[in-house]
Amino acid sequence: MTKLPLILAPAGSKDSFLAALAAGADAIYCGLKHFSARMEAKNFSVEELADLTALAHDKGAKVYVALNSLIKPGELNAAGGLLDQLNRQVKPDALIIQDFSLLQLAEQTGFSGELHLSTLTSVSFPGALKLIREGFGPRVSRVVMPRELGIDEIRAMSQACPQGLELEVFVHGAICYGISGRCYWSSFFGGKSGLRGRCVQPCRRLYTQNVPGLKIRNEKRTTFSDSRQKPAGQRKGRFFSCRDLSLDVLVKALLSVPKVRAWKIEGRKKGPHYVFYTVKAYQILRDHGSDPQMKKTAMGFLARSLGRPGTHYYFLPQRPQNPVNLTEQTGSGLFIGRVKRGSKPSRSKSPAGGEFYIVPRDELLPGDVLRIGYEDEPWHSVRRVGKYVPKKGRLHLKFPSRKKPPKGSPIFLTDRREKALEKLLAELEAERQLKRTLRRVPPNFHVRLPGRFKKGRFFKKNQSCEIHVKRNPGRGKSKDQTGIWLSVNKNAQFSAKNAQSSWWWLPPAIWPGEEEKWKATIDLALSKGCRNFVLNAPWQMAFFVPGNNTSRVQSPLAQKFGVQSSHERGKKGLSLWAGPFCNLANTLAVDTMADIGFSGVIVSPELGREDYLRLPEQSPLPLGIIISGNWPLCVSHIFPENLETGRPFTSPRGEHAWIMKYGDNVWIYPNWKIDIRTKKDELLRAGYYMFVHLTEPLPKTVELKKRQGLWNWDVGLL
C-alpha cells in the first residue's frame, strides 16, 4: 500500500506552530532567529523550539528546521554552534538547507536528523537526483521541488528519483516571481538579500512601461493594478506580483506519484488562522478527495484562509495559468472592502462628515488584523479590530495626517482569532508549559576548515585571467578570454577558433523538458573540442557523468558521483567551474564543490569586501569573481505578458530595468552594471584568479545609467 504524503505546515510563530498541531499536521517546518530564509517571521529561540518540538513529538508530528540561509565566511562557527545546540537540545527530525556548508557542518556536529535540500538549491531536472543520491548518500534524504514544475514534470522527477531519496512538492502558498535561489532583486535594489531571508518583495511593486505609439482602447480599468488614469502609450501595473499557488482539488493527481512524500504549504509569515485552515483543507483533499461534500468543505476552508487569489500555475500542462493577473489584487489576505469617506470634512464622528470608514464584505471579529493598502504605498498601515462588526456594517478608521489613505484604497483581512481556535491554542499552550525547560545548553563547536589549495596546481603564482562572457560567439580583447552562454538552439555556436579557447556557460536553471536537449548540446560541444565549462547549478555536473556523455573518465575522487576529479580533467584539458548562480559564499561550500569534482568556483556576487577578502584564505579551490557587467535582478520561468521585451520599465523609485527571454527563462536586468574593477588589485592579492565581465546585448531603447556598481562591497551582505 502506497504511503500517504505528509501534510507539511509552516510556522513562523508559537501560535502558528500550535495551530498546525491543532489542525493535525503531520510535520511542521519553522526557522530560528538566525540563518532562516524568512527572517521577517518571528521565528524561534532554541529554548522555545525545544519545548514546541517535544510537544509535537508527543502528538506524533515531525519538526523540520529551515536553516536555509546563505552563510558568509565568518559565520561558519556560529552556524555550526547553532546546529550543535539544535542537535543536543531540540533534536528536530530534519534540517532544510540551502547552503552546501551545512552538509559538512552536519557531519562535524554529528547531527542525527535528516537533511532536505531546499527549493533554493534549484534541483530542477531529473538527472540531478541520481547525482545527489550517489554523491551525498543517506545524508540527504529529500529534495524540495521548484514550484514551477507541472504534474508531468513531477512524474518525470519521481521516475528518475533513486531509492532512498524522496520528493517534496509545494501545494499552496505564495509564489515568487523569480526562480527560487535565482533572485537578487531585493539585494540589488535595497541591500536586503532574499537568499538571507530579508527580501522586501520589490516584485510586488507598481511598475510603469512607456510604449510610444501604443493606443489603449476599451481597456478594462483595474483599480487593483492602477487606480489612476494612464496616459496613452503607458502601461502601469504590478506586472511581477503573483497570485498564490493553490492546487486544491488537483492534488489528487499527486497521490499517484510514489516519490512525493510531502505536500508543503508555504506561509511562515502567516498567522494561526491561515495555518489551521490550509492544513485542514489539504488533509480533507488527501483523505476524502473523492467525496463531493468533503471537497466542498475543503474548498470553503481555502477560500477563508486569508491568502491571495489562487492559481494552479503550471501544474496542468494542457491548461497552464500565468500567475500574474492584473485584473486581481495580489495583496496577502482576504479582500474585505475599501476605504470610504464622507464628502464634507467635519469634526463629527459621522461618516458623512468626512471620517474614514469601511463597510466590510464579511463580518469582522474582535482581534481581526486589517491591512490598509499595499506595503509599498506610503499610507500603508495595519489595524486590529476592537469590536464585532457585522457584514455590511461600519467600522470607523482613524489615521494620522501623514498616513491618510486615498478614498478607495483596498483593505485586507490578514489574520483572525475565532474563539474556537483560540481555545484550541490555549489548551496546547498549557501542555507546552508543562514541558518548559529553562536549561540552556551552550554551543560546543569549532569548525574544521579544509586545507588551502596549492598555488601552481591550477594557476601559476600571481597568474590571473579575465573572461568576457557574451550571448553570442565573438572575439574578446586580445589578452583576455571569451565566455559564451551555451544555447540548445544554436548548433553553429561552436567553431574551430572558439571551441577550445572559450568558456562555455550553462544557464541558471534547466527544466525537465530541456534535459535531453542539453545532453545533446554538451555532447556536441565536447565533440567539437570544448574543454572549459561554467555550471550554474551544482547538479549540472550530471551532464558530465560517464554514460550520459562521451569523452569522460572515471575518478577516485568522484567515484560516488561517477565524475572525474579536477586533477584528472586537468590532464585531459577539461575544466569545470561552479558558476556565480550556485551562490557559494564560504569555504565549506567551496569544499563541497571540490568533493563533487569542480575545478574552481566563481563566488556569489552578493558579498561585501570583508567576505570577499576572507574567502580565499582557506579555499580548497581557485576562486573567480564577477568584477563587472550586467547582473540580473532575477531569472524567472514566468513571462510578464503585459510588458515588452527589450524596453525599459520603471520602479516607483525611478530605477529602470528591462526583460529578455533566453530559452525557457526570463531575465530581468537593471540599467546599471556591477563594477568593482577598481578593487581588482586588492582581490588579486587576496587570492582570486579569475575575473569575469558579463556583457549583455543592450536594447536600442535602453540607456545604461552611470552610477557606482559596488553592490554590497562597502555595506556588506546583510
pLDDT tens, residue by residue, 462-493: 578 999 999 987 654 557 789 999 999 776 68
Q: How far apart are CA 399 and CA 356, in angstroms?
A: 8
Single-letter amino acid code for the residue at 400 = P
Angle at 528 between CA 525 and CA 531, to 5 degrees: 65
91 by Cβ neighbours in 10 Å (0-12 / 13-18 / 19+) ranks as middle
Among 27-31, 38-42, 272-276, 478-482, the least confident range: 38-42
**Are residue 375 and residue 499 in the same domain, yes or no?**
no
Q: Are residues 287 and 405 in the same domain?
A: no
User: Is 203 inside a domain boundary?
Assistant: no
Residues 159 and 289 in one domain: yes
pLDDT at 120: 96
Asked if 340 and 357 count as a contact pair (C-beta separation under 8 A), the reply is yes
Which residues have CB under 8 Å from 319's CB, separation 6+? 312
Whole-number pLDDT of residue 109: 95
Show the cell assigned to 651: 520602479
**162 and 136 Cβ atoms separated by less than 8 Å:** no
Angle between the N-to-C axes of helices 101-109 and 587-596, in degrees from 0 to 180, rounded to the nearest 10: 100
Measure CA 449 to chain center: 28
Identify the pLDDT of residue 194: 92
What is the predicted pLDDT for the residue at 471? 93
CA distance 416 to 272: 8
Q: Are 684 and 621 in contact (CB under 8 A)?
A: no
Do 245 and 171 touch, CB atoms closer than 8 A? Answer: yes
- 672 in any annotated domain: no
- Amino acid 469 reads V
| pLDDT band per the 50, 70, 90 thresholds, residue 97 | very high
Mean model confidence pLDDT for the chain: 88
Q: What is the pTM of this model?
A: 0.91
For residue 228, the model assigns a pLDDT of 46
Mean pLDDT of 654-662: 94
Residues 258 and 346 in one domain: no
Asked whether residue 370 carries a pLDDT value surpassing 50, the answer given is: yes
CATH number at residue 150: 3.20.20.110
Residues 6+ apart with CB under 8 A from 684: 462, 464
Domain of residue 550, residue span: 465-631+677-694
User: Are 597 and 553 in contact, with CB atoms under 8 Å apart?
Assistant: no
For residue 652, the model assigns a pLDDT of: 85
The reported pLDDT for the residue numbered 41 is 57
Interior angle at CA 266, CA 264 and CA 272, nearest 5: 110
605 and 512 both lie in a single domain: yes
Rounded-to-integer distance, Cα 296 and Cα 302, Å: 10
State the pLDDT at residue 95: 97
Query: Which is nearest to 55 in space by CA: 83, 82, 32, 25?
Result: 25
Q: At 682, is the pLDDT very low, low, confident or very high (cuts 50, 70, 90)?
A: very high
Same domain, 13 and 116: yes
473 and 380 both lie in a single domain: no
Q: What residues contact 354, with CB distance under 8 A and at least 6 apart?
A: 341, 342, 343, 344, 345, 346
Type of residue found at 697: P
With bands split at pLDDT 50, 70 and 90, how would you rate the model's confidence at 400?
confident
Asked if 578 and 620 count as a contact pair (C-beta separation under 8 A), the reply is no
E strand or H helix at 28: strand 27-30
Q: Which of 85-94, 335-344, 537-546 has the least mean pLDDT?
A: 335-344
202 part of a folded domain:
no
Please state the φ and ψ torsions of residue 518, each to the nearest 5 degrees.
Answer: -70, -35
Total domain count, the chain: 3
**Residue 43 domain flag:** yes
Q: Is residue 300 part of a domain?
A: yes
Same domain, residue pair 297 and 350 = no
Q: How far apart are CA 333 and CA 369, in angstroms?
A: 10
Residue 231 has pLDDT above 80, yes or no: no
| pLDDT band (50, 70, 90) for residue 2 | low
- Using alpha carbons only, give the angle 172, 177, 180 rounded to the nearest 5 degrees: 75
Q: Is residue 228 part of a domain?
A: no
| CATH classification of the domain holding 472 | 3.20.20
H or E stretch at 381 = strand 381-384
**DSSP symbol at 105:** H
Q: How confident is the model at residue 550, as a pLDDT?
A: 33
**CA–CA distance from 262 to each of 26, 294, 577 (Å)?**
9, 21, 33
Angle at the Cα of 610 (from 605 to 614), degrees rounded to 5?
Answer: 90
Query: Is residue 347 over pLDDT 70?
Result: no
Q: Does 644 score more than 50 pLDDT?
A: yes
What is the mean pLDDT of the segment spanning 566-580? 70
Q: Is residue 161 part of a domain?
A: yes
Highest mean pLDDT of the ranges 265-274, 393-402, 563-572: 265-274
Indicate whether 387 and 348 sit together in one domain.
Answer: yes
- Helices 151-160, 127-136: axis angle to 10 degrees equals 40
pLDDT tens, 236-256? 999 999 999 999 999 999 999
Identify the helix (H) or strand (E) that includes residue 172: strand 166-173
Name the range with the highest mean pLDDT among 391-405, 450-464, 689-703: 689-703
Residue 165 lies in a domain: yes
Residue 3 is predicted with a pLDDT of 85
Stretch 122-138: mean pLDDT:
93
Examine the domain organization and report whether 364 and 309 are in the same domain: no
Closest of 657, 679, 675 to residue 666, by C-alpha: 657
Percent of the chain with pLDDT over 70: 87
Which residue, 286, 315, 344, sits at the end of a domain? 315
pLDDT at 143: 98
Q: Are 43 and 14 in contact (CB under 8 A)?
A: no
CB atoms within 10 A of CB 378: 11
For 262, how many CA atoms within 13 A lie in the half-sphere containing its CB? 26
pLDDT for 701 equals 92
Q: What pLDDT was estimated at residue 473?
A: 77
Confidence check: pLDDT of 232 > 50: yes
Domain boundary among 259, 287, 315: 315
Range 665-672 average pLDDT: 96
Range scoring the smallest mean pLDDT among 184-193, 217-226, 359-368:
217-226
Instruction: Indicate if the pLDDT at residue 227 is higher than 50.
Output: no
CB-count burial class (<10 Å; 0-12, 13-18, 19+) for 246: buried
Task: Give the bridge partners for 10, in sequence order.
Answer: 29
Model confidence band, residue 328 (pLDDT cutoffs 50, 70, 90): confident
Task: Tell me, yes or no, whether 590 and 686 share the same domain.
Answer: yes
**Domain identity same for 57 and 168:** yes
Q: What is the pLDDT of residue 75?
A: 95
CA-CA distance, 155 to 166, in Å (whole number)? 13
Rounded Cα gap, residues 488 and 491, in angstroms: 7
559 has pLDDT over 90: no
Q: Which residue type occupies 648?
A: P
Percentage of residues of the chain with pLDDT beyond 90: 70
